Structure 1
Amino acid sequence: MKNLYIVGAGGCGREILNTILDIHAIQGPRWNIRGFLDDTDDPLKDKPCDYGVVGSIVDYRPEADDLLVMGIADPAAKRRLGAMLAGRGAVFETIIHPYTALGRHNSIGTGSVLFAGFSMTVNVTLGRFVTIIGSGLGHDVTIEDFATISGACNIMGKVTVEEEVFIGGNVAVAPGTTIGSRAYVCMGSMVMKDVQPGTKVMGNPAREIG
């Protein structure tokens, strides 16, 4: 059984630990959970948690039986830390909660995390290190590397979400639109047209605010 470390002990990392524990409870043990890797000062202070911080990210050196899970939601940080750790030979696991609907003829990139309540239909492509929390994807959707999609989002058919996009909770994205790389979509927005790369949008309909 491989050793499993979660990169980041913030809120996203602790939610991912919960998903891993659900997998063990429902499907049986799959990994030897070691705990968190984190570089911040006492990230679990006053937060009850089943596992602690066992080392820093910057000092971590992978061993033969180790697997990592990306427990950070920030897309740019996922790219930076993923590249650093992969350069040292680290291997990342893909985590899929048992209570997901994975559809047919879809692909899921290495290092992605799909939380409970996630669903996708057909011909969906998820890139590497994609994080999706309980949202739905329609047909022919593409989510590129390092994107994060928060809870209760509805992404319609033929949408493209480019690299390093962050989408807040309760966002709806109209069919056929493209959200450009490194864009940020604020929670509760309704995206009716393309979002330009590197911009921040909010509202119904979503408009650029930065």
Structure 2
Amino acid sequence: MNIDIVVVGAGGFGRETLDVLDAIEKQSPGSWHVLGVVDDAPSESALLLLSRRGIRWLGPLAEWLLTNPSAAYVIAVGSPASRAQIADQIGSHGLTAATVIHPRAEIGTLTSVGEGSVICAGTQVSTGVEIGPHVHLNPNSTIGHDARLEACVSVNPGAIISGGVVILDESLVGAGAVILQGLHVGRGATVGAAACVTRDVPAFTTVKGVPAR
């Protein structure tokens, strides 16, 4: 039986999340039924692209919540801080956050994935990993053994998180970045694209370069 779902976010990652849902439905027909997308201020181009694939814009988030929806939801907003705020807003309405994992993602043994997370195609998650709620693992990212990613972390395409790394809430790891084994990334930190992190990153700090500074 199809489960109704709404994607929160009409931008690029919203459409990528729709692709993940499409892939799940192709492999397991009857999994999800996409009702549409909610977004407070979608661009004209975003609405056009949604229209081309037959996806409805359901209006701003607050207005949609006033309709007393019963659908599951997934937050497809790239900014970790914005995603956390939206999760708090929706959470007060008691809705269910859907966990969306592409069939071509590889998930190791003894690994847990929090509600509302999106794991894209080509992602490799090793054994013993803890993934918190509303985490985004973009295409072809790699998460090493026994790593821990807390709520609303974003790992951008091609990034490599080595074994035993801990990444705290609302942090972002840029495309192609590497974080070496056993390091700690503080809350709200940003690791720049293609950076190589060789030491712990303090909270609310941006690091970039090789080695990252």
**When the two structures are superposed, what TM-score results if normalisation uses the length of structure 2?**
0.92
% identical equivalent positions: 28
CA RMSD of aligned residues (A): 1.4
Contact in 1 for aligned 2:190/2:205 (Cα 8 Å): yes
Superposed displacement of residue 58, structure 1: 1.4
Can you list the C-alpha shifts for 1:1-50, whole angstroms capped at 9, x where unaligned? 32110001011111100111111112223122111001104452443433
Contact in 2 for aligned 1:158/1:175 (Cα 8 Å): yes
Aligned to 1:8: 9
What amino acid is aligned across from residue 12 of structure 2 in structure 1?
G
What amino acid is aligned across from residue 58 of structure 1 in structure 2?
A
Aligned to 1:128: 133
Q: Distance in 1 between matches of 2:7 and 2:47?
A: 17
1:83 aligns with 2:77: no
What amino acid is aligned across from residue 121 of structure 2 in structure 1?
A
What amino acid is aligned across from residue 97 of structure 1 in structure 2?
H
Aligned to 1:30: 31
How many residue pairs are counted as aligned between the two chains?
207
Secondary structure of the residue aligned to 2:58 is strand
- Higher mean displacement: 72-81 or 34-43: 34-43
Superposed displacement of residue 138, structure 1: 1.1
1:74 aligns with 2:79: yes
Contact in 2 for aligned 1:2/1:65 (Cα 8 Å): no
Instruction: Find 2:55's aligned residue among 47, 51, 58.
Output: 51
Deviating 4+ runs (over 6 angstroms)? none
**When the two structures are superposed, what TM-score results if normalisation uses the length of structure 1?**
0.94
Aligned to 2:203: 197
Secondary structure of the residue aligned to 2:82 is helix
Q: Distance in 1 between matches of 2:144 and 2:39?
A: 35
Superposed displacement of residue 63, structure 1: 4.5
- List gaps (5 residues or longer) in structure 1: none
- List gaps (5 residues or longer) in structure 2: none
Superposed displacement of residue 178, structure 1: 0.6
Contact in 2 for aligned 1:23/1:29 (Cα 8 Å): no
